[in-house]
Amino acid sequence: IQAGYKAWLNYKRIEPGESNESPAAWCSRIAVNDKSSSVVMDSAVSELIRGIEAMLGRKPVIVSLEEAAAGEGGYLIIGTWDEGGALLDRTFDGQAHQAIGPEGYAIRTNRAERCIAIGAQTDAGVLYGVFAFLRLFGTGSAMDSLDLTDHPVNSLRMMNQWDNIDGSIERGYAGKSIFYADHEITTDHERVRDYARLLASTGINAIAINNVNVHQFETMFLTDRYLPAIAGLAAIFRAYGIKLFLSINYASPIEIGGLTTADPLDADVRQWWKEKAAEVYAAIPDFGGFLVKADSENRPGPFSYGRDHADGSNMLAEALLPYGGIVIWRCFVYNCKQDWRDRATDRARAAYDHFKPLDGRFMDNVILQVKNGPMDFQVREGVSPLFGAMEKTNLMIEFQITQEYTGQQRHLCYLVPQWKEVLDFETYAQGEGSTVKRVVDGSLYGNRHSGFAAVSNIGSDANWTGHLLAQANLYGYGRLAWNPELPAEQIAEEWIQQVFGACNKKLVQTILGMLMASWSIYESYTSPLGVGWMVNPDHHYGPNVDGYEYSKWGTYHFADLHGIGVDRTMKTGTGYTGQYQGPNVELYESVATCPDELLLFFHHVPYTHVLHSGKTVIQHIYDTHFEGVERAEQLKEAWASLNEGMDPSLFAQVADRLAEQAVHAREWRDIVNTYFYRKSGIPDARGRTIY
């Protein structure tokens, strides 16, 4: 096994007395509550055994509760509770347990009974409890005084794979697909199982296994050609409490059904989808549902038939309803054939303009999946105004773990702080306290379905994510979906301790510092003040200030000799600011109150405009780009200081990437600075070299 493969399930050996007082005393015997028997419970037990064996060097034995209680020394007891049963008693000592909910768990050291109890209402809860216990164990919690309960805040915690059947991954930066090769579904179930383990350990409970852009072969996932093998993948995920979803092609009735239309109001089309749903559920009884990208970037959809997205999604929802399935319908709908000369059309407005009028028309098993921002996963952009605006509609948020616009896993960019900013954003939809996280956890409007989705960043690379430190984003996403209140630092620290070990404090603090600084560093040497883009077209790696300026994609910065930025105000611009609610409208509308970091997202200003920071826009651009390069150098040096005491192959993986980042940051700096110097003619106040 290559370095990094085990990721945060690495379970480094804990030397006696190192961080736990004789953990072996509690962990040599495991009693499993009798009535709990299922594939998920099997996973929970085998994970517990595997983790303990790795950390203590001795395999625990399974014993009956009677044997455990009668024997000498402590033991672990795990399982689902039954009223009045021994496990419930040991976990709670008679206290209330109902509040924990179906996926929650409790872990408690019961000194009187000489045991640590891990209990839950469901087998999935037990699995989460086991992973939590192993995390606590590995990160140095004292075993003799455990006492916690936890449950997920979001009901749907989903991963989206953008994997294609030919083995490629759209926006994948860590090798090939682990699911597909050469137009077939993988038979390497071991790797898929290890992925399921990683996901479940962070709390993920759903996965869509194919790209939202569903091409010719993937359209056939709904046919006999692929369904049996997909059912095999579903079984692997099922054992880890993860439901399988498929991205579907809206034009399937035509492409694989022999119909002449995919019109959602056509009776034959509706019938066709009903029969399809029946076939899918016959193969996968607990199938999650469909993820749909329709009328978006040239994908088919209901618009072709003069129908809207409520018609389109409801038709699919009706087909899935008898089986409890759901339709996840993406809101990434905009005009991707825009004329750059057209200054009135604003891509940022598109999702709201399309979907807000449909509020109240979606069936209850439809969820709209909304990207965190109105453009496309930029290093900085506004928060999508759809959050809070759809009072009568189920909504979930979509993040991008894969670093399409944030350095493509060659640059370090820990994204959890960015995601947290979005989740903490105040929408004012129901007055103060209407944060995005409360929209997507369903509590603001009392939704039955809601949650998180994100585009995965893994591939066939031995360490999963290419850049080893990009694993922290995968880990962090799951932890945040479980509980958006967790601090970004805590999540990072957990990841570091589990991958590198908890006892080298300097190492933990150094990597923590690197991760926490990385988003700001990446932002500082790339596109300034929220304006976005400025990347090479198509692959999106590296600087190209005008790369998208005269394109059809609606992604412009409008820089000229006087100034830069997109006027999205109601007064003089595209009116996008009016899509926000409450005080946010005025906050963004006024150049005086707009936060610096989003100034160019909302306003077109002269280069001499003075920011709240006291600097002019042009000087800010120069300063941040010079500083960004210095800070990228510092990342490299910080890592170099960890050379001793780290697995050399882990060390080298990151050292190489950081070296590339430092060189490439210069490229960004010089191209961006030179571009704006040439446009504006304004020299750097500090006289540094601009080419």
Q: With respect to ligand GCU, which residue has the nearer C-beta, 87 or 331?
A: 331
Across-strand partners of 394?
Answer: 367
Rounded to a whole number of angstroms, the minimum distance from the CB of residue 294 to ligand GCU is 11
Q: By CB under 6 A, is residue 332 in contact with ligand GCU?
A: yes
Tell me the C-alpha distance between 543 and 533, whole Å.
9
Closest contact distance (angstroms) between CB of 42 and ligand GCU is 36
3-state class of 12 per DSSP?
A: coil
329 binds ligand GCU (CB under 6 A): no
When the beta carbons of 73 and 537 are compared against ligand GCU, the nearer one is 537
Shortest distance (Å) from residue 164 CB to ligand GCU: 11
Residue among 321, 343, 542 nearest 449 (CA): 321
Residue 607 vs residues 561, 595, 611, 617, 681: alpha-carbon distances, Å = 9, 16, 10, 5, 10
Residue ranges in 170-199 that form contacts with ligand GCU under rule CB under 6 A: 170-171
Contact letters (x/-) for ligand GCU, 622-651, by CB under 6 A?
------------------------------
Does 157 engage in binding with ligand GCU (CB under 6 A)?
no
Q: Tokens in use for 621?
A: 């651009």
Q: Which of residues 496-555 bind ligand GCU (CB under 6 A)?
A: none
DSSP string for residues in 387-432: TTT-TTSEEEEEEE-S-TTTTTTTS----HHHHHHHHT-B--BTBT
Cα separation, 400 vs 457, whole angstroms: 8
- Least separation in angstroms between residue 376's CB and ligand GCU is 5
* Alpha-carbon gap, residue 589 to 609, rounded angstroms: 16
Cα 181–184–190 angle (5° rounding)?
70
Q: Confirm whether 166 is a catalytic residue.
A: no
Choose between 215 and 274: whose C-beta lies nearer to ligand GCU.
215
For residue 223, give the 3-state DSSP assignment: coil
In single-letter form, the type of residue at position 34 comes to D
From the list 47, 404, 493, 567, the catalytic residue is 404
Footprint of ligand GCU on residues 377-406 (CB under 6 A)? Answer: 404
Size of the site for ligand GCU (CB under 6 A): 9
Least Å distance between CB 466 and ligand GCU? 17
> Minimal distance in Å, beta carbon 350 to ligand GCU?
13
**Residues in contact with 362: Cβ distance below 8 Å, sequence separation at least 6, in sequence order:** 310, 313, 314, 317, 329, 368, 392, 393, 394
Q: Which is nearer to ligand GCU, 244 or 294 (CB)?
A: 294
Q: Can you say whether residue 565 is alpha, beta or left, with left for phi > 0 and alpha for psi between -120 and 50 degrees?
A: left
- In whole angstroms, give the CA distance from residue 581 to residue 567: 18
Q: Which is nearer to ligand GCU, 171 or 411 (CB)?
A: 171
* 404 counts as catalytic: yes
Task: Please identify, using beta-carbon distances, which residue of 336 and 503 lies nearer to ligand GCU.
Answer: 336
Cβ proximity of 399 and 160 under 8 Å: no
Rounded Cα gap, residues 502 and 493, in angstroms? 9
Identify the residue among 135, 157, 293, 449 touching ligand GCU (CB under 6 A): 293
Partners of 110 in beta bridges: 115
What are the tokens at 101? 């909910």
Q: What is the DSSP-derived secondary structure letter of residue 18?
A: S
Tokens found for residue 336: 């991707």
Closer residue to ligand GCU in complex, CB, 548/676: 548
Least distance in Å: CB of 398 to ligand GCU?
8
CB of 212 or CB of 515, closer to ligand GCU: 212
CB of 293: closest distance to ligand GCU in angstroms?
Answer: 5
What type of residue is 72?
Answer: E
Q: Which C-beta is closer to ligand GCU: that of 31 or that of 294?
A: 294
Query: Which of the following is catalytic: 194, 263, 346, 376?
Result: 376
Give the active site residue among 66, 297, 391, 647: 297
Select the residue interacting with ligand GCU from 218, 318, 376, 381 (CB under 6 A). 376
292 backbone dihedrals φ, ψ, rounded to 5° = -130, 125
Asked whether the beta carbons of 336 and 297 are under 8 A apart, the reply is yes
Binding mask 198-237 toward ligand GCU (x if CB under 6 A, else -) reads --------------xx------------------------
CA nearest neighbour of 331 among 170, 453, 166: 453
Residues sharing a CB contact under 8 Å with residue 243, sequence separation 6 or more, in sequence order? 205, 206, 207, 237, 286, 287, 288
597 annotated active-site: no
Side-chain half-sphere of 199: how many Cα atoms within 13 Å? 31
C-beta closer to ligand GCU: residue 178 or 214: 214
Q: What is the nearest approach in angstroms of ligand GCU to the Cβ of residue 518?
A: 22
Distance in Å, CB of 401 to ligand GCU, minimum: 13
Binding site for ligand GCU (CB under 6 A): 170-171, 212-213, 293, 297, 332, 376, 404
Query: What is the set of active-site residues?
Result: 297, 376, 404
